[in-house]
Amino acid sequence: MLNTLIIGASGYAGIELVYYLNKHSYVKILDLVVSSNSQDLGKSIDELYPQMKKIINLKLKSLDQAMKTNKKIDVVFLATDPVTSHNLVHFFIKKKCVVLDLSGAFRINNVNFYKKYYGFVHNYTDLLKKSTYGLAEWNKKNISKAQLIAVPGCYPTAALLSLKPLIESKYLDKKYYPVINAISGISGAGRKNILNNNFCEVSLNAYNLFKHRHEPEISYYLGIPIIFTPHIGNFSRGILSTITCKVKSDMLYEDILTIFKKFYSNEPLIRIYDNKKTPALKSVINLPFIDIGFSIKGKYLIIIAAEDNLLKGAATQAIQCLNIRFGFLETESIL
């Protein structure tokens, strides 16, 4: 059994980690951790989230309280903000834990990126070099031996899984930047009570044009520039991404389908639509899959990807990485 800490357990992604890891055949959750000034400190997780009743009732502790037990910790999940993750990863790496970080604090090996897009100075260039990007379907070999796994952002997961097959197959016309319009539910902004994230205040609108921190992440791992426009909608969870791009020559629907099936036919958490239909959010909410469909007209290709931002875009992708890292069935506790 892997003795496991979940830090940031009371957040939206954190509670999904709690639920799925509690079902894991090879994981023992030692403690659920929140910040020392959290209003949730000392509460039972099933008091905070009634859906956890008769499933798990551990109390939320501070990190100091959790570390006093002196129990060996094998795995740490960080469902925390980037600054908190930045400050904690080194501590757990020194303790020889495997760390899975759901924040953006270790995704890109460039210290200037963090100052520009995250607003803090990154002090761990050595760990940035050792960090492994946890795009599970594309980086299994490195994930399988990593000590620090940086789980991709929710928007990048949908964009990268949609576009990488075309890039790897050399069919994408790189002279034309892929245009990614993605709509996320309010849960993507986290659980903090901020007026702009209040359900009654949210309308469907674009935000952070040309400056969203996920744009350089997507571009970095695709190896090409992109145009990314994020939107927030007045629904709780899920992401729908519409990606418009151009291929090098006229292609048929069956040609694109063959490309996607080549890369994903054996991937259990990717569902490719092969009936000329496109995904909707209702098909993926509360499920760990990403659904991908498309339409092509000559050289112009539109890809539609749908995922639950808290699952395939966060918690279950992190657990998928855990399973790859330790040689378990990739879908253990997920399906």
pLDDT per residue over 260-285, tens digit each?
999 999 999 999 999 999 999 999 99
Quick one: pLDDT band at residue 170, thresholds 50, 70, 90?
very high
pTM: 0.95
pLDDT in tens, 73-85: 999 999 999 999 9
* For residue 238, pLDDT beyond 90: yes
User: Is 154-307 in the same CATH topology as 2-151+314-326?
Assistant: no
- Select which of 97, 154, 245, 321 is catalytic: 154
Confirm if 307 and 238 have CB atoms less than 8 A apart. yes
CATH architecture of the domain covering 2-151+314-326: 3-Layer(aba) Sandwich (3.40)
88 and 67 in contact (C-beta within 8 Å)? no
- Lookup result for tokens 């100075």: 121
Domain coordinates of the chain in residue numbers? 2-151+314-326, 154-307
pLDDT in tens, 239-248: 999 999 999 9
Residue 70's pLDDT is 81
**Does pLDDT of 331 surpass 80?**
yes
Our answer to whether residue 321 is catalytic in this structure is: no
Please state, rounded to an integer, the average pLDDT across all residues of the chain: 95
Determine the Cα–Cα distance for residues 201 and 273; give it in Å rounded to an integer. Answer: 35
The pLDDT assigned to 192 comes to: 66
Query: What percentage of residues in the chain have a pLDDT greater than 70?
Result: 96
Q: What is the pLDDT at residue 194?
A: 65
pLDDT at position 197 over 90: no
CATH for 154-307, options being 3.40.1380.20, 3.40.50.720, 3.30.70.20, 3.30.360.10: 3.30.360.10
Cα separation, 310 vs 80, in Å, equals 13
pLDDT, one tens digit per residue, over 96-147 is: 999 999 999 999 999 999 999 999 999 999 999 999 999 999 999 999 999 9
The per-residue pLDDT for 190 is 66
198 has a pLDDT exceeding 80? no
pLDDT band at 257 (very low <50, low <70, confident <90, very high): very high
**pLDDT value, residue 196:** 67
Tens of pLDDT, residues 213-225: 999 999 999 999 9
Residue 27 structure tokens:
């994981």
What proportion of the chain, given as a percentage, has pLDDT over 90? 92
In which band, very low, low, confident or very high, does the pLDDT at 41 lie, cut at 50, 70 and 90?
Answer: very high
